[in-house]
């Protein structure tokens, strides 16, 4: 499975429902995607799964919204499984970066 497909499915099957259930008021402000790596371009395969490969997604929020929701979002994201569809991260240290919350100046 390609990393982009894995991450997309992980977000829609696991991440989005959990965020919607726990903190639905943040949904209008979320921008979600992948922050980097070969999986963003579909250039990963069964052989080229290097660091930063596993189920996850990044969330971007404007600074004031991030300040308002970061603690609750972090709690929800930390509760998500570290394995999905039999795929996981190389190690626990790497898994802590599976779902970062990033700041953006403006979401269009």
Q: pLDDT tens digits, residue range 37-93?
A: 666 666 676 666 665 677 888 888 988 898 999 999 999 998 998 889 988 876 666
Q: pLDDT tens digits, residue range 1-21?
A: 788 888 899 999 999 999 999
Average pLDDT over residues 24-45: 79
- The pLDDT value recorded for residue 18 is 97
Q: pLDDT tens digits, residue range 79-107?
A: 998 889 988 876 666 666 677 777 665 54
Query: Which own/partner contact pairs does 82-89 have at CB distance under 8 Å and 24+ positions apart?
Result: 82/54, 82/55, 83/55, 84/6, 84/9, 84/10, 84/13, 84/14, 84/55, 85/1, 85/6, 85/9, 85/10, 85/55, 87/1, 87/6, 87/54, 87/55, 88/54, 88/55, 89/53, 89/54, 89/56
């Amino acid at each position: 499975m390609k990393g982009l497909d894995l991450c997309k499915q992980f977000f829609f099957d696991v991440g989005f429902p959990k965020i919607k259930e726990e903190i639905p008021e943040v949904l209008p402000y979320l921008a979600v995607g992948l922050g980097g790596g070969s999986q963003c371009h579909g250039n990963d395969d069964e052989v080229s799964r290097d660091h930063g490969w596993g189920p996850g997604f990044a969330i971007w929020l404007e600074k004031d919204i991030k300040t308002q929701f970061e603690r609750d979002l972090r709690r929800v994201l930390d509760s998500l499984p570290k394995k999905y569809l039999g795929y996981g991260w190389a190690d626990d240290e790497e898994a802590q970066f599976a779902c970062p919350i990033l700041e953006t100046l403006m979401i269009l």
